[in-house]
Amino acid sequence: MRTGLIAKKIGMSRIFKNDGQNIPVTLLKVDTCKVIDHRKIDKHGYLAIRIAYGQSKKSTINRPTNGYFKKLKTESTNLTAEFRVSEDGIVEIGKDLSVNHFLNGQYVDISGFTIGKGFAGGMKRHNFAGNRASHGVSISHRSHGSTGQCQDPGKVFKGKKMAGRLGNVKRTMQCLEVISTDHENGLIVIKGSVPGPKGLFVKVRDSIKQKLEKLPYPTITDNINKQTDNVVSNLSPEVNVENNTVSDLNKSKETSEPVVNANSEQISDQDKDLISKEKQEDKLDSTENNEKKLDVKKDD
């Protein structure tokens, strides 16, 4: 089981497929999600990772939170969350998690608080039919009616459907497909709707019901991040492959050039040695010739 991410709901949009099909999508913004703490079995009784999202103004952070982050020696923020993980899903403290943590096509579960609608009556909150709108009813057309029984039990049971506060409860949408991710802008494109209004912070984690076998544990590596950055999403896969091959060829040329230069330096050194030897031999020959001439003059 891997860790999840904290994301901010930006709003909804649409995506058109090649065949013209319209897909409603939700955009989620992921700022710097940093691992700040671990929960261990020996000390806390369970395995979990604590993640901090973005940064907050110092004036909005209370003293206990400041003290907690001061102990961890990290920048303080008001938004943190815990994610239960397995032993192979533990991420080291201080590591930043990006949107590439999730793969295109995989399914996720998103938890958040629904839109709060304030105090609502029984007809809006529980879809009651209401009383008659014409005859026999006086000023109670939309009331929910009787709520209890007789002297026995003489009370209203807990959980009775009545008027009350509507919305602002935690809900989880399961098995939502990840259409695409944008590493540069930190966006996750989710198919369908996500609970909550615009600007709400939600938790995004791997789906429980529809699991993907080939998920990177504990998270995606830096090498994969570099590969995904090199690939241009707007181009076709063939063009992306060509670009990657060209970059590989350039790298091989760069690595091969120093070797050629070293060989040329070695060859030039050998040539210098040969030239110096030839010069020494020429000098010896000239000295011998001069000596022979001197001997001939003396004989004369």
pLDDT tens over the chain, length 300 residues = 898 999 999 999 999 989 999 999 999 999 888 999 899 999 999 999 999 998 888 889 999 999 998 998 888 899 999 999 988 888 888 888 989 999 999 999 999 999 999 999 999 999 999 988 888 888 889 998 888 888 999 999 999 999 999 999 999 999 999 999 998 999 999 999 999 999 999 999 999 998 887 888 878 765 444 444 443 334 444 444 454 444 454 544 444 444 444 444 444 566 667 777 777 777 677 766 666 656 655 555
Instruction: Output the 3-class SS for 148-215.
Output: CCECCECCCCCCCCCCEEECCCEEEEEEEEEEEEECCCCEEEEECCCCCCCCCEEEEEECCCCCCCCC
Please calculate the CA angle 167-169-174 and round it to the nearest 5 degrees.
Answer: 110
- 3 state SS of 264: helix
CA angle 67, 35, 103 (to 5 degrees): 155
- Do residues 106 and 215 lie in contact, with contact meaning Cβ atoms separated by under 8 Å? yes
Task: Give Cα 102 distance to the centre of its chain.
Answer: 7
CA distance 121 to 289: 126
d(CA 239, CA 270): 47
> Closest by alpha carbon to 206, among 79, 105, 112, 88?
105
Rounded to whole angstroms, the Cα distance separating 26 from 110 reads 11
